[in-house]
């Protein structure tokens, strides 16, 4: 998977997941965010969640993202919303990031559980940063129903990577976490996230016909579109799960 292709395809997105701004705001209210609280966002993308929450709810935050392009966009967004003093963005591998222990009221990883080698490993690496009584937020795919065997390679997931919702609950419990809330994305949000990338890539290729990776990027986008329509849209759900450590 090319990080650069994602940076191009998601160039027009603020949120890099099949989830609306309204639902991120709902999550903030579910977490009862209040001024002075601290939020850690691992794989923060363009920092939209952190910057918005800092602006609306007065929290401060730390975001970590591997992409320098996204990290720079996150810093710019925090500055644009006037919260740059309260939002720190670090570029690097969130899987190797050592956060201040027990310092954050909310620790989030929204749509990047590969940073810890899967859901269980990511929960493990999120926990030390969480203050007592705080909340973990995990954005994670799940199957509406298990896809046919041929789908996995196309989607780019292994048969064990994701499970149905109740199996996801089992995974949280096995990791010592209780599921206390959740907000799920819907099909329209999936379409906004996935389909809008087709046009963004097409616009990019029209403007940059000599890009040395143009053919690969076009093939990558065509595969993503076909796989989305054949499998992801039908079988794959996505949501943010709110957890308490037990």
Q: Which residues bind ligand SAM (CB under 6 A)?
A: 15-17, 43-45, 48, 64-67, 70, 93-95, 110-112, 115
Pick between residue 77 and residue 127 the one whose CB is nearest to ligand SAM.
77
Q: How far apart are CA 170 and CA 96, in angstroms?
A: 26
CB of 10 to ligand SAM, least distance (A): 8
CB under 8 Å, gap of 24 or more: what pairs does 173-179 form? 174/120, 175/119, 175/120, 175/123, 175/124, 176/245, 176/246, 177/123, 177/136, 177/243, 177/244, 177/245, 177/246, 178/243, 178/244, 178/245, 178/246, 179/241, 179/242, 179/243
CB of 172 to ligand SAM, least distance (A): 19
CB of 37 to ligand SAM, least distance (A): 19
Pick between residue 69 and residue 103 the one whose CB is nearest to ligand SAM.
69
Residue nearest to ligand SAM (CB): 45
Pick between residue 66 and residue 157 the one whose CB is nearest to ligand SAM.
66
CB of 44 to ligand SAM, least distance (A): 6
Q: Contact 101/81 with Cβ under 8 angstroms?
A: no
Pick between residue 6 and residue 38 the one whose CB is nearest to ligand SAM.
6
């Amino acid at each position: 998977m090319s990080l650069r292709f994602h940076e191009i395809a998601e160039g027009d997105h603020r949120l890099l997941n099949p989830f609306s701004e309204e639902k991120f705001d709902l999550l903030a209210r579910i977490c009862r965010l209040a001024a002075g609280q601290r939020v850690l966002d691992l794989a923060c993308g363009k920092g939209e969640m952190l910057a918005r929450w800092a602006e609306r709810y007065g929290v401060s935050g730390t975001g970590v993202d591997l992409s320098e392009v996204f990290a720079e966009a996150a810093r710019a967004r925090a500055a644009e919303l006037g919260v740059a003093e309260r939002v720190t963005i670090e570029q690097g591998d969130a899987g190797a990031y050592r956060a201040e222990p027990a310092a954050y009221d909310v620790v989030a990883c929204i749509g990047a559980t590969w940073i810890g080698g899967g859901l269980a490993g990511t929960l493990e690496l999120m926990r030390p940063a969480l203050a007592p009584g705080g909340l973990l937020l995990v954005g994670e795919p799940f199957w509406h129903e298990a896809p046919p065997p041929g789908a996995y390679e196309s989607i780019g997931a292994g048969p064990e990577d994701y499970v149905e919702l109740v199996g996801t609950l089992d995974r949280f419990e096995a990791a010592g976490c209780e599921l206390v809330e959740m907000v799920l994305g819907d099909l329209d949000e999936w379409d906004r996230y996935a389909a809008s990338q087709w046009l963004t890539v097409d616009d990019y290729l029209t403007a940059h016909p000599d890009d040395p990776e143009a053919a690969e990027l076009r093939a990558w986008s065509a595969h993503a579109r076909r796989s989305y329509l054949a499998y992801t849209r039908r079988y794959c759900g996505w949501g943010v799960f709110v957890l308490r450590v037990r």
